[in-house]
A and B are shown apart, each in its own frame.
Chain A
Amino acid sequence: MSIVEIKSLPVQLNDLLKVFPANAGSEEQTAVNHIDLEIKAGELVTLLGPSGCGKTTTLRMLAGFEQPTDGAIVIGNENVTNLPANKRDTGMVFQSYALFPHLTVYENIAYGLKIKGLKRNEVNKKVKSVIELMQLDELIDRQPSHLSGGQQQRVAVARAVVTEPKVLLFDEPLSNLDAKLRVYMREELRKIQQNLNITSLYVTHDQTEAMAISDKVVIMNNGNIEQVGTPTEIYKKPISQFVANFMGKANFLKATVKSIDNGIITLDFEGYTMHVDNKDDHNFKRDNIVHCMARPEFWYVNENGRYQGKVLKAIYFGSFVEYEIQIGQQRITFEDYNHISNGVYKQDDQITLDIRKDTIGILPYDKNYDENNNER
């Protein structure tokens, strides 16, 4: 259909290691610690994590800007680990967009094609079709400094896809836009990515962005991959307190395992009996102390509910009310999005809550994430 045709290829990172050598004033640093990752053809995978977790280094290794200390990078069937950056055939959208300030929009987009030595009319054809795709028609003669943030973003994407790269790389592409535009552009990016069906790796530290845009989210921490999964899996069933916290607000309830059946784990939480679906592989035993992870909005008000609590604090946010509730010796955060029908409780009110057993995750107990330290 369009002139820009992309061959979707899978990408594999095998046992990738990056150690930055000790420099004056800084010690040797392991930025990426033996990670394995597979991106299927046409899939958009997001690397998500706090700054310094190694996500950008991973992306830059894929682009060829950093040489891995060890491990291999495979695009399609080709091992590209030792290929220089300009031979990698990846398209990158930079955080700062990195548009060439001395060239016009047209010249920016045509740059890669000209480098490849395409004939002028071919360059023209391809640039035109991408310009149409990105709705840049009116801007082709402008200098980048005369574009708005969103327009610059579009030019950056156009420039990256026009050369029909094997992989599209995004390095926090939306972080320089204001909140509204960010939401709009991430939908645009997703649409283009899906239209072109181009294998993509996307780096961000914003978990809503990651959830909104990705097929698969990879949570990184300290150079390691903590968890890989769909946005839902990662949000609902984080495999560690770190992931749980990073993906949003979380209550970590200290509880004791009472019994483990085929279908259900029964726990004691502040004298209440708590049931949790038993699905995942785990090695909890009777009398183990564990953390039950429950998101604040997973609770709901139910007069016949299981858990009796006292309201310590109530903050009205419009779309929801945030409560801090004391249950036994522990405090939980509860966000009520149904406050219109439930009514708003006040400080010192008694409240009865409940939670579904399939929304609670069980994690090994970690005193760093104990409920009373959980005021983030």
Chain B
Amino acid sequence: MTAIRIGIKKSLKMQGKQIKQLTKQPFLLTLILLILIFFFVFAVYPIFQVLKIAISGEEGFSLSNLKEMITNHAFLRALWNSIRLGIISAVLGTAVGFLFAFAITRTEMRGKKFFHLMALLPIISPPFVIALSMILLFGKNGAISNGIFHLANSNIYGMGSLIFIQTLAFFPIAYMNLRGVLESIDPSLEDAALNMGASRWKVFKTITFPLALPGVFSALLLVFIKSIEDFGNPMIIAGDYETLAVQAYLQIIGMYNLSSGAFFALALLIPAFTAFLIQKYWLSKKSYVTVTGKPSQSTIKINEKYIVYPLFVLCILATGTILLFYGSVAFGSLVKVWGIDHTFTLDNFKYVFTLGFDSIKNSLLLATISTPITAILGMIIAYLIIRKQFIGKKLLELSTMLPFAVPGTVVGIGFILAFNEKPLALTGTAFILIITFTVRNITTGIEAGTNSLRQVDPSIEEASTNLGANGIQTFFKVSLPLMRSALFSGLVYSFVKSMTSISAVIFLVSVHWNLITVSILSQVEGSRMGAAAAYVMILIIIVLIAIGILQLVVNKLGPAKRRK
């Protein structure tokens, strides 16, 4: 008993010391408090608002109301539709992504670099571009449906199209993940199996695939999340295949029914968040992949024709489809009336630059403001999480993860609910859009930052402290330059997402602050496909230029090779 009491006393004393240590660093303490408050107000609180209003409604909690909501046919249909779509897209997207990753990491094949670059295209463009060009190609006036097969009334709206589009849009996510996993499987394991007489197929079945399996599950969950929280594609092409994200939007914007919208959003939150938690906390521990830091000697890659050719055909098909879809958008932006009058014109661009330039300007401005804030704040938080001991660290980690793990629709609704009234009447301002970008996009930077900081020997920072530098000096002179690549990916991710995402901001745009993605969607809804296509082209070009500029900026920050 006494031993325990002494133990408790001691540990209380330690806690006291920890706090005392912190109070000696008032700057650090203030910083941590500010960050915690920021994420509490702009991440935890809005999501809590969604939960509250979804369950209790606007008039207060009643069980019968809740029961009515749950048993509502429209709701159940949307829920089932979303989940079914999520599962099918996840399976197809992961399968294509896996084969793609296998082909690129494990075989001798021509054009690997090209395939890789093509797969990045859907990642850096707005997710609903593919839905747009689906209409261009297979719609009523579609280049293929009408132009080649002369179908007068082709109906592409519905689940089939949606599955196809999501597979194409999200397989690159599975590919990027699985590529990392496959690359980090020690090739000498496969060599060992081959050495013991296993065939290529046997090696794949008994070694490669089982080792990649946690990664495969992880990719399945990621694509599942992406699919069910996808707003743009279903909005454009789902037809009467109702999904949760779209229904939540329609309930709120179309019918002004906040509580019903929040309820749909909550239904979306639960599977998405569950999948996220499984992926993050359970699967990541199951991984067999160990990073040794020792570059493994690459083994002889597969070049048997019967394996390479089919994979090659698949890669060609996938990238060909991407090229076809993005090519159509490019073409569509340069012709008078798609499907009818294919004379070359710059009218679409003229239209966008004269009538719709504001939203481009706004997107660019807000993304430019939020990107450095997001990336640097992300690095600071990563530094705090890895290097500092403080009470509430877990809380900070969770609250920074929340707006990323939660579907954009939920965040958007949460922000309207939370910030529509005083004291924080922020809806309709640029400020709320910047905050949305920041909280939604910071997680990737934090993850990259923590990962790269884990590789940095803490004694390097201790050396700086030992030489007299304080925490801020150490961070900017030593830690940040060493997190350069993480900073870069944080900047790029945050810029690209700020420019291309739609599901959260669509609830928050206003007459004064409209954004490019929302403009594109309204052009599509108004069937002005040429203008929509022109917008998309401008957006993609902006993103590519920005990535180039960021690369230059980040290179400035670190050691350019000073050696001759």
Interface residues, chain A, CB within 8 Å of chain B?
Answer: 19, 21-22, 28, 63-65, 67, 69, 82, 84-92, 94-96, 98-104, 111-112, 115-116, 141-143, 146, 159-160, 163
Q: Which residue of B lies closest to A89 (CB)?
A: B468
Bound CA span A88–B291, Å: 37
Judge whether B481 and A159 touch: CB under 8 Å: no
Are A84 and B13 in touch, CB under 8 angstroms? no
Given A92-B462, A112-B467; 13 other pairs, CB 8 A cutoff: A67-B17, A67-B21, A82-B24, A84-B25, A91-B467, A92-B463, A102-B478, A116-B468, A143-B562, A159-B463, A159-B467, A163-B467, A163-B468
B14 CB contacts on chain A under 8 angstroms: 19, 21, 69
Q: How far is the CB of A348 from chain B (nearest CB, A)?
A: 49
CB distance from B428 to the nearest CB of A (A): 44
Report chain A residues within 8 Å CB of B464.
100, 111
Nearest-neighbour CB distance to chain A for B25, whole angstroms, equals: 7
Most B-side CB within 10 Å, residue of A22, A65, A102: A102
What residues of A have a CB within 8 angstroms of the CB of B563 in the complex? Answer: 142-143, 146
**Residue in A28, A104, A115 whose CB lies within 8 Å of B467:** A115
- A92-B466, A163-B467, A163-B468 given; A102·B481 CB < 8 A: yes
Q: Which residues of A contact B465 (CB under 8 A)?
A: 64-65, 85-86
CB distance A100 to B463 under 8 Å?
Answer: yes
Specify the chain A residue showing the minimal Cβ separation from B457: A96
Interface residues of B in 2-28 (CB under 8 A from A): 7, 10-11, 13-15, 17, 21, 24-25
| Residue in chain B with minimal CB distance to A19 | B10
Q: How far is the CA of A111 from the CA of B474 in the complex (A)?
A: 11
Residues of B within 8 A of A63 (CB): 462, 466
Q: A95's closest neighbor in chain B, by CB?
A: B459
Nearest 9 Cβ contacts at the A-B interface: A112-B467, A98-B459, A98-B463, A21-B14, A94-B459, A92-B466, A98-B460, A85-B465, A115-B468
In the complex, the answer to whether A94 meets B462 with C-beta atoms within 8 Å is: yes
Q: Interface digits, B181-219 against A, CB 8 Å rule (1 contact, 0 not)?
A: 000000000000000000000000000000000000000
- CB neighbours (8 Å) of B295 from chain A are none
Tell yes or no: B482 within 8 A of A by CB: yes
Q: How far is the CA of A170 from the CA of B344 in the complex (A)?
A: 74
Interface hits, B450-486 → A, CB 8 Å = 457, 459-460, 462-470, 473, 477-478, 481-482
CA A64 to CA B558, docked complex, whole Å: 29
Cα of A285 to Cα of B65 in the assembled complex, Å: 91
Asked if B11 and A85 make an inter-chain contact with CB atoms under 8 angstroms apart, the answer reads no
B526: interface (CB < 8 Å) = no
CB-contact partner of B470 in A65, A86, A95, A104, under 8 A: A86
Residues of A within 8 A of B459 (CB): 94-96, 98
B residues less than 8 Å from A141 (CB atoms): 562
| A146 vs B460: C-alpha distance when bound (angstroms) | 17
Bound together, the chains give a CA A86 to CA B7 distance in angstroms of 31
25 cross-chain CB contacts under 8 A = A21-B11, A28-B10, A63-B462, A65-B462, A69-B10, A69-B13, A69-B14, A84-B24, A84-B470, A86-B465, A86-B466, A86-B467, A86-B468, A86-B469, A86-B470, A87-B468, A91-B467, A98-B460, A100-B464, A102-B481, A102-B559, A111-B467, A112-B467, A112-B469, A143-B563
CB-CB under 8 A from B468, the residues of chain A are 86-87, 89, 112, 115-116, 163
A-B contact number at CB 8 A = 93
What is the CA–CA distance of A88 and B466 in the complex, to the nearest angstrom?
Answer: 8
B-side interface residues, number (CB < 8 Å): 31
A104 to B562 CA separation, bound complex (whole angstroms): 9
A64 and B230 CA atoms in complex are apart in Å by 51
Does more than half of chain B's interface fall in helix, strand or loop, or is it mixed? helix
Among B10, B460, B466, B559, contact of A90 (Cβ-Cβ < 8 Å)? B466
Task: Tell me the bound Cα distance from A65 to B7 in angstroms.
Answer: 23
B487 smallest CB distance to A (angstroms): 13
Distance in angstroms from A374 CB to nearest chain B CB is 36
Give min CB distance, A237 to chain B, whole Å.
Answer: 36
Bound Cα distance from A89 to B465, whole angstroms: 10
- For A91, the chain B residues whose CB sits under 8 A away are 466-467
Q: Looking across the interface, which residue of chain B has its beta carbon closest to that of A116?
A: B468
- Residues of chain B within 8 A (CB-CB) of A22 are 7, 11
B11, closest chain A residue (CB): A21
Closest to B15 in A: A21
Q: Which of A64, A85, A88 has the most CB of B within 10 A?
A: A85
- A57: min CB distance to chain B, Å: 14
User: Do B10 and A115 touch (CB < 8 A)?
Assistant: no
Minimum distance in angstroms from B403 CB to a CB of chain A: 27
- Nearest CB of B to A54, in Å: 17
Q: Which of B463, B467, B481 has the largest count of A CB atoms less than 10 A from its CB?
A: B467
Question: What is the minimal beta-carbon distance from A274 to any residue of chain B, in angstroms?
Answer: 45
Q: What CA separation (Å) do A146 and B24 show in the bound complex?
A: 39
Nearest CB in chain B: distance from A207 CB, A: 24
Q: In whole angstroms, what is the CA distance A95 to B463 when docked? A: 11
Q: Name the residue on A nearest B461 (C-beta).
A: A98
Cα distance, A89 to B467, chains bound together (Å): 8
Closest-by-CB residue of B relative to A87 is B468
The complex places the Cα of A91 from the Cα of B469 at a distance, in Å, of: 13
Pair A21/B562 contact, Cβ less than 8 Å: no
Q: Which of B457, B459, B468, B477 has the most CB of A within 10 A?
A: B468
* B561 to chain A: closest residue by CB: A143
Q: Is the CB of B482 within 8 A of A101?
A: yes
CA distance A222 to B558 in the complex (A): 43
- In angstroms, Cα B563 to Cα A142, docked, is 7
